[in-house]
Amino acid sequence: MINLKAISIVSFILVHFAGANQSNLNVNVSFRYPKATKLKIEFYSVKPEFTFSVARTGVSDSVNKTPADQKIINKFDFTPSKAESSFVLLVKNDSSQTKYFFANPHTYKPESTALSAVFECLCNHHVYTIPPNTVWFRVVRLDVNFDMVPKGSKKLEIVHDFVEVSEADAKSKYKHLIYEQL
């Protein structure tokens, strides 16, 4: 009787973990920066009350006052039972000047995984503003569609090019593209 119970537990664990491994997908969200910029995107978990506030964007004088919770790394594990994740992108401007930036539309590596995930991110043809000594934040969401993940794929990378915009350009040619943030 005990043997039967032990066998069933062991087989459950084996099947469960084998299945989970087969369906796991690791998503790496990365940004490429021009040499001249000192701005960097940081990744934070989202405070529970802001989990569904996707696209909430603003600036604050401290990280604590934003939807950002704990600092995290830019790699996310997904399984069919946990196929989406909200988190916060954060940029600190420690300088005494207002900074402006945008993100070029993201690409997928390898390209064959392009239908595997939907990323509600920050690349929406707008320019963001960070006043001096403030932090900029945006709540984003990553959603994996396991039905479209190519067979055998375990990893994918979502790449954005980060572009810092000069104040002159932000106030002239990109004036109509400035994002209305909180």
Partner 1 sequence: MQNRNINILFMNNFKIALVLILISQLARATEFKLEFIKPRDLNIELKLYELNPISFAKAVGTQGELVTDEQLEKPKPIKNFTFKLGPADGKVLALVAENKTAKDIEFFVSPHESNPSEFSLDFKFNCLCYSHIYKIKSKKKWYRIMRLQRTDDEISARTVRLKHTIVKWNPKDKH
Where does this chain bind partner 1 (CB under 8 A)?
Answer: 23, 32, 34, 102, 104-108, 111-112, 114-115, 118, 125, 127, 146-151, 153, 161, 163, 173-174, 177
For partner 1, give the closer residue by CB, 5 or 125: 125
Would you say 32 or 40 has its CB closer to partner 1?
A: 32
User: In the complex, what is the shortest distance from the CB of residue 137 to partner 1, in angstroms, rounded to a whole number?
Assistant: 22
Residue that the structure tokens 């604050």 belong to: 60
Reported in sequence order, the residue ranges of 35-83 that DSSP labels E, i.e. its strands, are 41-46, 57-60, 68-71, 75-78
Identify which of residues 59 and 103 has a Cβ nearer to partner 1 in the complex: 103
- Burial status of residue 182 (CB atoms within 10 A of its CB: 0-12, 13-18, 19 or more): exposed
| 72 vs 123, beta carbon nearer partner 1 | 123
In angstroms, give the least distance from the CB of 13 to partner 1. Answer: 22
Q: How far is the CB of 48 from partner 1 (least distance, A)?
A: 30
Q: Measuring CA to CA, how many Å separate 104 from each of 18, 32, 121, 125, 158?
A: 38, 10, 11, 8, 12
